[in-house]
Amino acid sequence: MTVQIRRLATTQSDFKNQLANVLAFEEKEDESINSVVANVLADVKTNGDKAVLEYTRRFDRLSVNSAAELEISKTDCEAALASLTPERRAALQAAANRIRKYHEYQKRSCGSDGFTFTDEDGTSLGQKVTPLDSVGIYVPGGKAAYPSSVLMNAIPANVAGVTEIVMVVPTPDGARNELVLAAAALSGVTRVFAVGGAQAIGALAYGTETIPSVDKIVGPGNAYVAAAKRRVFGTVGIDMIAGPSEILVICDGSTHPDWVAMDLFSQAEHDEMAQSILISPDASYLDRVNDSIQKLLPGMIRKDIITKSLSSRGAMVHVKNMEEACEIANRIAPEHLEISAENPEHWAELIRHAGSIFLGRFTSEALGDYCAGPNHVLPTSRTARFSSPLGVYDFQKRSSLICVSAEGAQTLGKIAVELATGEGLEAHARSAGLRIEKQ
Ligand SMILES: NC(=O)c1ccc[n+]([C@@H]2O[C@H](COP(=O)([O-])OP(=O)(O)OC[C@H]3O[C@@H](n4cnc5c(N)ncnc54)[C@H](O)[C@@H]3O)[C@@H](O)[C@H]2O)c1
Ligand SMILES: N[C@H](CO)Cc1c[nH]c[nH+]1
Ligand SMILES: [Zn+2]
């Protein structure tokens, strides 16, 4: 078993186009997925529980008599936690603790206390930060179960102070994942429903007789989930549209090639459409990692997925030097960037666009997926150019505060009257003008 991975070099005349081809990501079934999702959402909006039950039977092969049976009780989540082996429970708890600590630190440093300041005339201005009342957390569960995603979505919401955290997770064929339920018990989730796909997103957006509507829906999922989130945006808030996982490794040639090969596998094993790219200024190092890949691949449980991902979307890029490697990383704007090199902090200074940056050869991306502390829900498909990891700030909103003094009303009033008259809005001008004392 061998896998052919595309090899590029920045010295090639058409390198720019070649790289663009590697990065191009099309959901080929976009049209059909969109129309399925539109129908599911419309049906859930009109028929509530009845539609949710029908799609859960059709897509997850789970038949129950009433939507109430889809709710997984707190007691069941607590029992799942209690049923774990001591080692598994300790690992889950340790991950939860580290993720909570990181997000508490983030809360303190992201302006969660708001601010106020006062002008000389006694007018005070400020910003008030409020947690959302309710959020829905989508936890994927179609092809694999993701307890770590429960922690990564629910803990920041809990730290932000959200009081109602409703989790939805598909349970194909009725199989519940104990670790997923245990993670819910540890992270402040208030209600759990065994529903997935577009029907779960519709239920959280519109509400059904049994499933409450929420203010914002977060969490990763497959193309059906992504299409549904895109469509309900506006009725509810959403965090982002997550595409397939990505890893970009920049290596100066000093890391054991087996380590880097396995790091590339770690994201490739998520999905046939996942993307793993290696950049190095050392062409012989690229050959050595390629040898490691061919050696290690046959022993991997998910070798078929890894092979498809690496052969269709993977790449190895030879660059002139580390500066050029960083420049290309910025162009790729990957979800995860490993800087597996000597003095990684130096190279990190050159990076402007990446969801999460992993510094040094001991920082494997997998540690970030589970337990380092920062969030693993990250911008994909080059959206790191303009968006950030999921965080406490996604579960807060801001209101501005304005308290104008009698003195301030005189100066601000004159400005407002002038501008309102310019806009032809009489009531605005008079509203401001009435508060100006006649001299
Ligand atoms: N970015 C992250 O942080 C992160 C974390 C974990 C997982 N993921 C990604 O999330 C995705 C999870 O996908 P998944 O499929 O395993 O689980 P999922 O829960 O996202 O999707 C399963 C649901 O899809 C719906 N569905 C499946 N086939 C359908 C069809 N033909 N018609 C209508 N609906 C259909 C069903 O309702 C089913 O319940 C993967 O791509 C994985 O890589 C991302
Ligand atoms: N790497 C994924 C985000 O791209 C998150 C994850 C969950 N479990 C393992 N990995
Ligand atoms: Zn992962």
Sheet (strand 124-131) strand order: 115-118, 124-131, 396-403
Task: Tell me, yes or no, whether 70 and 205 share the same domain.
Answer: yes
What pLDDT was estimated at residue 144? 87
359 within a domain of the structure (yes/no): yes
* Separation of alpha carbons 152 and 218, rounded Å: 10
* Percent of the chain at pLDDT exceeding 90: 95
| Same domain, yes or no: 157 and 56 | yes
Pocket test for ligand 1, best of 57, 59, 313, 378 (most atoms within 8 A of CB): 59
Shared-domain flag, residues 168 and 202? yes
Chain segment 339-355, per-residue pLDDT in tens: 999 999 999 999 999 99
pLDDT at residue 437 in the model: 86
User: How far does the centroid of ligand 1 lie from the alpha carbon of residue 274, in Å?
Assistant: 13
pLDDT tens for each residue of 114-168: 999 999 999 999 999 999 999 999 999 988 899 999 999 999 999 999 999 999 9
377, part of any domain = no
**How far is Cα of residue 254 from the mean position of the Cα atoms in its chain?**
31
Tell me the per-residue pLDDT of 168-224, one tens digit each, with 9 for 90 and over.
999 999 999 999 999 999 999 999 999 999 999 999 999 999 999 999 999 999 999
Same domain as 224, residue 256:
no
Question: In the structure, what pLDDT confidence band is assigned to residue 28 with cuts at 50, 70 and 90?
Answer: low
What is the phi/psi pair of residue 298, to 5°? -60, -25
pLDDT at 209: 98
How confident is the model over 369-380, as a mean pLDDT? 97
Task: Tell me: do 154 and 192 sit in the same domain.
Answer: yes
* 246, 336, 338, 376: the active-site residue: 336
Would you list the DSSP string of 244-272?
Answer: S-EEEEEE-S-S-HHHHHHHHHHHHTT-T
Q: Is the CB of 148 under 6 A from ligand 2?
A: yes
Residues 337, 414 within the same domain? no
Question: What token pair was written down for 36?
Answer: 């399925």
Of 372, 394, 422, which residue is a domain's last?
372
Structural domain for 201, as ranges: 31-238
Q: What mean pLDDT comes out for the span 395-408?
A: 97
Is 259 in the same domain as 288? Answer: yes
* Same domain as 265, residue 197: no
Confidence of residue 27 (pLDDT cuts 50, 70, 90): low
Tell me if 358 CB under 6 Å of ligand 2: no
**Is the CB of 275 within 6 Å of ligand 2?**
no
Domain boundary among 204, 238, 272: 238
Q: Is 426 a catalytic residue?
A: no
CA distance 363 to 355: 15
Across the range 254-267, mean pLDDT stands at 98
Q: 76-110, pLDDT tens digit by residue?
A: 999 999 999 999 999 999 999 999 999 999 999 98
What's the structural domain count of the chain? 3
pLDDT at residue 242 in the model: 86
Average pLDDT of the chain is 96
- pLDDT at residue 34 is higher than 60: yes
134 and 264 both lie in a single domain: no
360 and 247 co-located in one domain: yes
Report, as an integer, the average pLDDT of 241-250: 94
Q: Does the pTM exceed 0.80? A: yes
pLDDT band of 26, cuts 50, 70, 90? low
CA of 141 to the centre of ligand 1 (A): 6
Indicate if 100 and 229 belong to the same structural domain.
yes
pLDDT at 31: 87
Angle at 31 between CA 27 and CA 32, to 5 degrees: 100
Q: Is residue 394 part of a domain?
A: no
Which one of 148, 239, 302, 390 would you pick to mutate in the ligand 2 pocket, going by the greatest count of ligand atoms within 8 A of its CB?
A: 148
**CATH number assigned to the domain comprising residue 214:** 3.40.50.1980
Please tell me if the CB atom of residue 313 comes closer than 6 angstroms to any atom of ligand 2: no
Specify which residues 217 forms β-bridges with: 136, 238
Q: Which atom of ligand 1 is nearest to the CA of 377?
A: 3
